[in-house]
Structure 1
Amino acid sequence: MDTGDFRAGDVLSVACPFTPARVERGVTWGRIAVRWPWWDIDSGSDFIHWNGVVALGVAGDERSEPEVRAELFRTDPPPERLTAGDVCRVGVPPTTVHVTAVDHHDPPLETGWLPRPRLTVSVLRRGLSYREFPDDSHLDGTGYCLHPGDGIPFTFDLLLRPYACLRPGDEVADAAGRAWRFDGPWDWTAFDGEPAGAGPEWPLVLLTRAGTPCTAEDARAVAASTASGSHQRTVRDWMSLTRASPTP
């Protein structure tokens, strides 16, 4: 998968090879601190002074705090067997996540480490919904933040992209005669001003592509991809993979 190609609603399998790291602090308050093996300290940062250490949430059971359960990185050996000074490996085993937000940064974010991120992809692990996270949490209410291209050797496999045939800003007509604007798989606006209800009825007819006339090829692709199935079926397939509620 192209590391620049992400959309809200995507269901991904994400992984990162396990890499040696040194433990700086054993488990404290549900976190273990390790010397991060992938980033360099950004000595040119004006207001963020990172010390090269990252605190990882320690995986617990389903009663753990949501932000701890959201952690993707794992240590080998497990955190409870590690103390300060130990050498371990840190990485991400193949994990199913869903994308809640995608943000591009120009200029790149000043984070305290190098390389400075140009992209933030917010994700949540299977079984977690964004609604579990308060807006003032370190996850900022949208998910666990990944920065593809920032030096961590993530791999991403796309498992499902709802409405892959559509682009944000597209306008469509549905089988019930309603016109809609598409801003994401769970972000539909009906032009008649009525509540979205169960969503658009398939098949769909592409009217405009992000405000401009659509091509015949694009219209055929949308018609073909929605010729069978339904919006409700798309939601069910997504929930089966994510075990979460759709992000509006």
Structure 2
Amino acid sequence: MMDAGDFRAGDVLSIACPFTATTIERALTWDHVSVRWPWWDIDSDNEFVRWNGMVALGVPGNGYAAPEVAVEVFRTDPPPEHLEAGDVCRVGIPPTVVHVTAVEDHAPPLRTGSLPHPTRTVTVLRRGLSYREFPDESHLDGSGYGIHPGDGIPYTFELLLRPYAFLQTGDEVADAMGRAWRFNGPWDWTPFDGEPAGPGPAWPLSLLTRAGTPRSAEAAEAVAASTASGSHQDTVRDWMALTEASPTP
């Protein structure tokens, strides 16, 4: 299992949460069911946000394609169509493949009306969903479903793939064709020559600088060894095979 503080955009994860007993507050209506959330407490000191202890979960398969329904990762057991208000059920996440579209740290922590206060948001999309499917005007900020590791929900995470794990944001490399590039993320490469990026950098890669600082011999050796075989296109194909999605910009 991966460390709950170790995430970056492009990661492909298997995420899960043990199913925990709770009650249905509002039965399924169109595309949502509301449950009493078993992991958070109400922040009674928050004068601006009054949370009622419930969370509405999007329910796919009801003929409505709202973004919050498509990206929902939590499920009820039994399924919501078999539940009425007041029924006891369980809520959790079965092992689900997702990819990370954004990571944001919060200092000070977010004041959401619930406790504990989130200090990090990791935004994910389930397998089969691409960033481009969710316009910026959605309340999901255009990038997926936000989870808050460390907020009391007992998530488990398994890292399945981290594209370009041997690089850091801001690294500068030279490729096999002699082009210099800046690495801004797995699918965000800037060539220094001003020409179109085309199919991306040609492997093997040589590390020029480490995120704006001089490279170390160890870092340079790791980049060279990691790109001695394969290609940028292979990395993209491996990522797409796991996510069934287009690469996140």
Q: What is the TM-score when the length of structure 2 is the normalising length?
A: 0.97
RMSD: 1.1
Identity of aligned residues (%): 75
Aligned residue number for residue 82 of structure 2 = 81
The one-character-per-residue Cα deviations of 1:85-115 (angstroms, maximum 9, x if unpaired) are 0010000000000000000001001111110
- CA distance in structure 1 between the aligned counterparts of 2:203 and 2:209, rounded to whole angstroms: 17
C-alpha displacement at 1:67, in angstroms? 2.5
Q: Runs of 5+ in structure 2 lacking a partner?
A: none
Q: Secondary structure at the match of 1:4?
A: coil
| Residue 209 (structure 1) aligned with residue 210 (structure 2) | yes
Segment drifting more, 59-68 vs 225-234:
59-68
Matches within 5 A, 1:222-233: 222-233=223-234
The one-character-per-residue Cα deviations of 1:43-101 (angstroms, maximum 9, x if unpaired) are 12231111000000012279733421211000000000001000100000000000000
Q: Runs of 5+ in structure 1 lacking a partner?
A: none
Q: Which amino acid aligns with 2:14?
A: S
Matches within 5 A, 1:147-186: 147-186=148-187
- CA distance in structure 2 between the aligned counterparts of 1:62 and 1:181, rounded to whole angstroms: 44
Q: Secondary structure at the match of 1:8?
A: coil
Aligned residue number for residue 200 of structure 1 = 201
| Residue 107 (structure 1) aligned with residue 108 (structure 2) | yes
Q: Secondary structure at the match of 1:237?
A: helix
- CA distance in structure 2 between the aligned counterparts of 1:154 and 1:231, rounded to whole angstroms: 31
- CA distance in structure 1 between the aligned counterparts of 2:112 and 2:84, rounded to whole angstroms: 27
Are the equivalent residues in 2 in contact too, given 1:7–1:102 (CA < 8 A)? yes
Q: Secondary structure at the match of 2:239?
A: helix
- CA distance in structure 2 between the aligned counterparts of 1:193 and 1:169, rounded to whole angstroms: 17
Aligned residue number for residue 35 of structure 1 = 36
Aligned residue number for residue 95 of structure 1 = 96
The one-character-per-residue Cα deviations of 1:198-248 (angstroms, maximum 9, x if unpaired) are 000000000000101010000000000000000001000000000000011
Are the equivalent residues in 2 in contact too, given 1:60–1:69 (CA < 8 A)? no
- CA distance in structure 1 between the aligned counterparts of 2:62 and 2:185, rounded to whole angstroms: 32
Where do 4+ consecutive residues of structure 1 move more than 2 Å? 61-67
How many correspondences in the alignment?
A: 248
- CA distance in structure 2 between the aligned counterparts of 1:87 and 1:64, rounded to whole angstroms: 27
Aligned residue number for residue 6 of structure 1 = 7
Aligned residue number for residue 59 of structure 2 = 58
Q: Secondary structure at the match of 2:223?
A: helix
